[in-house]
Chain A
């Protein structure tokens, strides 16, 4: 079986290369036969990679420890869900998953765009297959998931226990859907450059891909945060770990891209800029994988990597940047657009500022992430850059971003007159200030939190103002407020879907502000019956118990949580000992309400059961972060649905 798997990769590589050639010839000579053959190659590639996936998954499920990958990442005791997810639990498997998603997307692209873009499609195929060839080559020659092992061990080493969590089962595939999704708009952009026809067509046709990719990337990041919060046991959800940063980078540029394409669609400007953004985004998705897989930076995510993988990734990224920007340079004469701007105060400027800010964030996160490498390379001193640095540097950026979220959607295109500004922003600004006073009265004193909340109020105010105006204008024709709101939003799902997403982002930021500014914690050693007090919570230690589970040994501490007045919950937090790991894993207990989480983790215990050391935390508003993610989901779906069609208007008069 392993041989079949390996050959499926090699054949896939060959097919990718052949398809590239066929598509290229087909496009150049404009021969339909070449293009058709390339399309068939894409489908064939997908089938081959699917066979590879199936073989690896089957091997995992049937405990075939003859495969090195299975022996290292699964065991007989591993639960079914995690046998499945072990496929992306380590380097080789996750490369295979990536390649499989890419091949799958390529098939969808071929099916969707065969009729719509017959001239562009061959070039798109060239680009997609080139990326595919890289990943297949990597697996075939440097890190094959089908490497065999002898002698065959009796049992596997098991999945990394940190990854035995539902969050971890979903986080990588979601993230990869985002990463790979951005390959599609990139491929269309490159195809346009290769072909030399450079209208905004590629943007329109790939809008849904971009939005979807952005969505999955966002959710991937959030799943990761959720996992970090529930599994790592440190009470936080974002550690500014190098690999977390690496996933944030393409998100930032992708977000910039999502916004700046609107100027090109509307005004035909910023062609080179948009191309650069999508190239950068694609390169950063590769960079993210490179950081994860090469192990050059210490991180929770670092897999044992081989230098060859790192070098190949770096080389490929360099190649991508060189070729892509080279193409932009070659075509630059055709990319010149008449840029004109009527006023510094306009929607266009707001978009430009949005882009500058997002890219500044990208740069600072990137720089902070690679700074330790720089320091070691340039002066031989090991250095760290951690959470305090990133929060400090990114805070002003976040503030401006929030402000723009309020201003951008309402400010006029071309030129915003003082009257327009007053009409759109005076009320929300006053409302936000009033709200700010209220927040201070309510006891928030941290200036950073207050600022974020004021700006959040401003964003909500502008959106509300815009919606209520639209609703008021339509209410008589649509018969009521709610129907008016529904039909208003359905007329421009892209805009109002965007509003919902912005709402989700605001809720998320409020959650971040609350939990970052007002978290409280206490660490204490308790004997059975003793009570710890934190805020209006009291938690009583009931006792320890030990048990043997299929893959680990666990020591559980039982606790009772009290509110001011009454008993709220029984909490259990444990330490898990896995044979493959030196350090035990912590299992946390969380009691969530809409305004705060009570978070309990046992850090230590006495072997005779007479005491346990626990860290208790009250994390305000953490739930809002996950709900923000939910709202973003709704908004994205809404934006992706087709606009409701107007009834065809009666032809009236002459043109």
Chain B
């Protein structure tokens, strides 16, 4: 029975979206359709359960370290033997109560800064963090100022529509509706 629900939603979705809305309350149907869509999107979320806390910490730390023998994979993702040993090492150290920062520092000492997939937020590597931020903020500020200047420059009104033309459009539309 539970398996049928998504199928039913899939079938119902387009129908509800396109069905005529009540005259008094335009757009109620799309709302229903939307809610149904998200039911659909939310459905798989039910599967989840909590992760083992230690495994989760191992994973998130390993995800920030680069696998030394692979092409650009993290220790968490890499299927290589080396990465597995590193994961075991991380697990062991975390289990002994070592702080994640200390574990990271251990790897940096052995392999250099290269091992970190996230540049540390101090010194020169801080640049890697600031630059994209500056790019975004600069772009936004610049375009905001530019837009404001253009708005100021413009006369500010949309061109007037000729009333006679408007009347003709209305008449044509009426005719179309009736014909």
Which residues of A are interface residues toward B (Cβ below 8 A)? 232-236, 239-242, 298-300, 302, 339-344, 349, 352-353, 355-357, 359-360, 363-364, 367-368, 371, 374-375, 378-379, 381-389, 392-393, 396-397, 414-415, 427-428, 430-432, 434-435, 438-439, 441-444, 453, 456-457, 460-461, 464-465, 467-468, 471-472, 475-477, 481-482, 485, 510, 514, 518, 520-523, 535-536, 583, 586, 594-596, 601, 603-604, 613, 615, 618, 620-621, 652-653
Contacts and interface: CB of A to CB of B under 8 A. Distances in A.
Interface in B148-178: 148, 150-151, 153-158, 168, 172, 176-177
Contacts of A360: 132, 135-136, 139-140
A529 to B, nearest CB: 23
A430 B31 contact: yes
Contact of A427 (B31, B63, B64, B114): B31
19 contacts: A298-B71, A340-B150, A340-B154, A344-B148, A359-B139, A364-B132, A382-B113, A388-B117, A444-B42, A453-B42, A461-B31, A465-B30, A468-B27, A510-B41, A518-B45, A523-B87, A536-B47, A603-B79, A618-B47
A428 B34 CA distance: 9
B77 A239 contact: yes
Contacts of A518: 45, 47-48
B84 interface: yes
Contacts of B39: 438, 442
B117 to A, nearest CB: 3
Nearest to A507: B41
A339 B132 contact: no
B73 A239 contact: yes
A521 B33 CA distance: 34
B34 A382 contact: no
Contact of A386 (B18, B74, B136, B147): B74
B72 A241 contact: yes
B143 A468 contact: no
Interface residues of B, number: 78
A375 B30 contact: no
A239 B63 CA distance: 11
Interface in B127-144: 127-128, 131-132, 135-136, 139-140, 142-143
A10 to B, nearest CB: 36
Contacts of A364: 131-132, 135-136
B101 interface: no
A457 B132 contact: no
A431 B35 contact: yes
A427 B18 contact: no
A414 B150 CA distance: 12
A153 B161 CA distance: 80
B155 A485 contact: no
Nearest to A242: B72
Interface in B98-129: 112-119, 124-125, 127-128
Contacts of B55: 522
Contacts of A467: 17-18
Contacts of B6: 594
A300 B115 contact: no
Contacts of B131: 363-364, 367
Contacts of B77: 234-236, 239
A427 B87 CA distance: 49
A341 B52 CA distance: 56
